[in-house]
């Protein structure tokens, strides 16, 4: 088996040649792409399964699940994570699907949180979840080393929640938020996709709910990542619209020092409480992107919107040297485009839905 990346989109033969010649760097070098962006954030999707069926993420029926035999084991995930950390990755974010559906989730957290970078400092372990299993699992996750939580919550109204997620589980999510608020994990973030005529009359309410739970609400512009390919730009509520609504309730002051973070943040009424907006469509932040993704079935992706994947699975499932995995990480980073091009007429939505990519 060769270490040449498996390409879904345009072939990039130079990356393969550079990989063999070592031009892309050697183990321990930072993961730098051709635009100078240093990659420090590895998003690890643990499963494509979910206990909800959000309309902007998955079709109601007919979703093609990843084959169980292709799902990375804990040992395989840990190996990739350890190599990435040696290359300067400082944050692992566990995603899905719903990461808490992994039966070995506490062990995943324990093993990954024990990984340290070359400077001996432990990597920071974060998770994005729908929150449903937090009441039962959070104590074990915190004990295992989880440091930060993002919980998805698009609406506070039960009928809307049921329509949006196709499941009547709002009370379970709210119990998860309460459990997170009662834990010591801070900053706690709640993520809401803003959607026209769905929840755009709840923006102030959602921020207030977050404040009441010592959390930061972060609104996300809806992106073309749904498995059903039904994204409609006119349904998207833009950053400007969100800010206009929030400004009717609070005075907003920009928080400086965003760095590579996806969210722009504002303080509320000049205090310490904040709100964030992730404006991936109308104000892309790709120029500072430091993110790399590992899907549950062992594909490396250099962008949410990438149509190219780098297949680690065969390397992980045969006798292979760590250098081969390191080389694939480098090839993936090297192949990264400057941005997502959502706003270009020729934009192509990736074949995978959000649940199989990882948020």
* Least separation in angstroms between CB 273 and ligand SF4: 26
**Contact at 8 Å (CB) between 128 and 95?**
yes
Residue 189 assigned as binding residue: yes
Q: Is 303 annotated as a binding residue?
A: yes
- Token readout for 264 is 């722009």
Shortest Å distance, C-beta 207 to ligand SF4:
24
Residue 332, annotated ligand binder? Answer: no
CB of 328 to ligand SF4, least distance (A): 18
Sheet containing strand 274-278, edge to edge, reads: 252-254, 264-268, 274-278, 215-221, 188-194, 148-152, 124-129, 91-95, 41-45, 291-294, 299-301, 310-311
Taking each helix axis from N to C end, the angle separating 322-334 and 74-86, rounded to the nearest 10 degrees, works out to 70
- From candidates 141, 303, 333, 357, binder to ligand SF4 by CB under 6 A: 303
Q: Is 294 annotated as a binding residue?
A: no
Q: Is 304 in the site for ligand SF4 (CB under 6 A)?
A: yes
Instruction: Sketch the per residue contact string, 65 through 104, with ligand SF4: x for CB under 6 A, - otherwise.
Output: ----------------------------------------
68 labeled binding residue: no
Nearer to ligand SF4, 246 or 303 (CB): 303
Least CB distance to ligand SF4 at residue 315 (A): 23
- The least distance separating ligand SF4 from the CB of residue 185, rounded to whole angstroms, comes to 25
* 339 in contact with ligand SF4 (CB under 6 A): yes
Binding part of the chain for ligand SF4, among 69-77, 161-169, 269-277, 303-311 by CB under 6 A, reads 303-311
Contact 46, 343 (CB under 8 A): no
Per DSSP, which regions of the chain are E strands?
Answer: 41-45, 91-95, 124-129, 148-152, 188-194, 215-221, 252-254, 264-268, 274-278, 291-294, 299-301, 310-311
3 or 152: whose CB is closer to ligand SF4?
152
Rounded-to-integer distance, Cα 151 and Cα 95, Å: 11
Nearer to ligand SF4, 33 or 324 (CB): 33
Q: Name residue, tokens 């919107």.
A: 305
56 is in an annotated binding site: yes
For residues 113 and 355, which CB has a smaller minimum distance to ligand SF4 in the complex?
Answer: 355
Interface positions, 273-302, toward ligand SF4 (CB under 6 A): 284-286, 289, 291
Q: Is 305 in the site for ligand SF4 (CB under 6 A)?
A: yes
Cβ of residue 249: shortest distance to ligand SF4, in angstroms?
Answer: 29
Q: What is the DSSP string of 39-102?
A: P-EEEEE--S--S---TTTS-SS---PPPGGGSPPHHHHHHHHHHHHHTT--EEEEESS-GGG-
- DSSP 3-state of 239: helix
Query: How far is the C-alpha of 298 from the C-alpha of 294, rounded, in Å?
Result: 6
Angle at 285 between CA 93 and CA 153, to 5 degrees: 50
Q: Which residues bind ligand SF4 (CB under 6 A)?
A: 284-286, 289, 291, 303-305, 339-340
Binding residues are 43, 50, 54, 56-57, 93, 97, 128, 152, 189, 223, 286, 289, 291-293, 303
């Amino acid at each position: 088996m060769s270490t040449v990346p498996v390409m879904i989109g345009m072939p990039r033969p130079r990356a393969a040649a550079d990989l063999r010649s070592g031009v892309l760097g050697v183990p321990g070098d930072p993961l730098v792409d051709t635009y100078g962006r240093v990659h420090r954030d590895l998003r690890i999707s643990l499963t494509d399964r979910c206990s909800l069926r959000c309309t902007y993420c998955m079709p109601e029926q007919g979703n093609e699940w990843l084959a169980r035999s292709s799902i990375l084991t804990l040992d395989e995930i840990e190996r990739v994570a350890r190599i990435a950390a040696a290359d300067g990755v400082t944050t692992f974010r566990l995603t899905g699907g719903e990461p808490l559906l992994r039966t070995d989730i506490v062990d995943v957290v324990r093993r990954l949180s024990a990984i340290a970078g070359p400077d001996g400092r432990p990597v920071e372990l974060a998770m994005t979840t729908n929150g449903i299993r937090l009441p039962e699992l959070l104590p074990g996750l915190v004990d295992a080393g989880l440091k930060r939580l993002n919980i998805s919550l698009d609406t506070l109204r039960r009928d809307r929640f049921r329509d949006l997620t196709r499941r009547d589980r709002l009370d379970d999510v709210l119990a998860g938020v309460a459990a997170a608020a009662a834990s010591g994990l801070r900053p706690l973030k709640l993520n809401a996709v803003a959607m026209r005529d769905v929840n755009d009359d709840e923006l102030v309410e959602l921020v207030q709910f977050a404040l009441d739970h010592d959390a930061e609400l972060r609104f996300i512009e809806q992106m073309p990542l749904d498995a059903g390919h039904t994204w409609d730009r006119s349904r998207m509520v833009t950053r400007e619209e969100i800010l206009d609504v929030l400004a009717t309730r609070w005075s907003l002051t920009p928080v400086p020092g965003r760095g590579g973070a996806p969210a722009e943040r504002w303080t509320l009424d000049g205090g310490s409480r904040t709100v964030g907006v992730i404006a991936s469509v109308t104000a892309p932040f790709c120029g500072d992107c430091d993110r790399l993704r590992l899907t549950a079935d062992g594909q490396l992706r250099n962008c949410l919107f990438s149509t190219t994947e780098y297949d680690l699975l065969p390397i992980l499932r045969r006798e292979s040297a760590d250098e081969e995995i390191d080389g694939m990480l480098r090839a993936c980073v090297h192949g990264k485009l400057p941005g997502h091009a959502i706003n270009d007429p020729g934009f192509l939505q990736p074949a995978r839905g959000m649940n199989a990519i990882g948020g």
